[in-house]
Amino acid sequence: MSDNLSFADKLITLATPYWETEAELTRRFFASKPSKKTWVRYLRAAVYKELNPVIGYGPTNGFACGLHMEFSGLVNKFEAVDDGLDRRSFHHRLEQMIEEFMHFTVLAEVLEDLLGRPLQRGDAEQLPEDEKLNRLRHNYVNSDNMAVQAVMELTEGGGTATFREGSKLTGGEFETKLAAAFKVIADDEDGHVDHAAEELLDVIKTTSDFAAAKKALLLVSMQRLHMRNEMFSNVMTSEELNGYLSERGGEPINITKF
């Protein structure tokens, strides 16, 4: 890795092999010609993730879902709208949550088509590796280190790998509708990497900041792959996943603590 790169660019370079591996997981899942049951399992997990965005992830006790908690927090902030509220930051967060709700909507519509009925409470389901990912991210989102907090946005969406690949899906009516849903999400997430990089430029000032952000980035990126592979019914074995990642210059990491 060139020493001439900024800290932010170095982190993007480190993340890229993980994004490439997530794209390959997506391609292999589609190529496996999933059954209706397998698609339903995937979409139930995908709908859950959109209902419970990881941005600012925390306990959602007392709320219907993570989005409910996020919007409730935003509504409460209106009390300070003319009394010191950071309007730009508020607007950015509001846009993020509106996008997440639209992502939930387009995926829920595809799931409803498969189920043949409207979505019901309990249809959305979190899988174990996603729960583990959220615990890991929650630890970093609440870190005292601003660089560690900021790098979490870089891990959001896996570089849009799954949804960009998903937008290429072809086939019948179901595949066409799912591809359109994926395209909505991919288009919304375009630019997230650039935004995260700009924020990282502002907060990573020292080599120790970079080292802390790098550690968090690699651990979360690795767990993202486990999460995505589980959603895709383990389309890769652990050996295949680690091998593909290594071939692209990534570092397979054994995550045990979380």
Residue 236 lies in a domain: yes
Q: 177 Cβ partners below 8 Å, 6+ apart?
A: 109, 110, 113
pLDDT digits (tens, 9 = 90+) for 177-236: 999 999 999 998 887 777 778 888 888 989 999 999 999 999 999 999 999 999 999 999
> Do the beta carbons of residue 248 and residue 20 sit within 8 Å?
yes
Task: Give me the pLDDT at residue 198, please.
Answer: 83
Q: Could you give the CA distance from residue 240 to residue 170 in angstroms, rounded to a whole number? A: 26
Task: Give me the pLDDT at residue 59, please.
Answer: 66
Residue 239 lies in a domain: yes
**CA atoms 46, 47, 49, 53: torsion sign:** positive
Segment among 26-40, 146-160, 171-185 with least mean pLDDT: 146-160
Neighbours of 84 (CB within 10 A): 7
Residue span of the structural domain in which 212 resides: 7-247
Task: Give me the pLDDT at residue 4, please.
Answer: 54
pLDDT digits (tens, 9 = 90+) for 34-80: 999 999 999 999 999 999 886 555 667 788 888 998 899 999 998 88
Task: Give me the pLDDT at residue 104, please.
Answer: 96
Model pTM score: 0.90
| CATH number for the domain harbouring residue 233 | 1.20.910.10
Q: Could you give the CA distance from residue 9 to residue 3 in angstroms, rounded to a whole number? A: 10
Residue 1 lies in a domain: no
At residue 8, what is the residue type?
A: A
Q: Quick one: pLDDT band at residue 250, thresholds 50, 70, 90?
A: very high
Residue 133 lies in a domain: yes
Name the one residue in this structure whose structure tokens are 């019914």: 233
Residue 137 lies in a domain: yes
Residue 14 lies in a domain: yes
- What's the number of domains the chain is made of? 1
> Do the beta carbons of residue 215 and residue 195 sit within 8 Å?
no
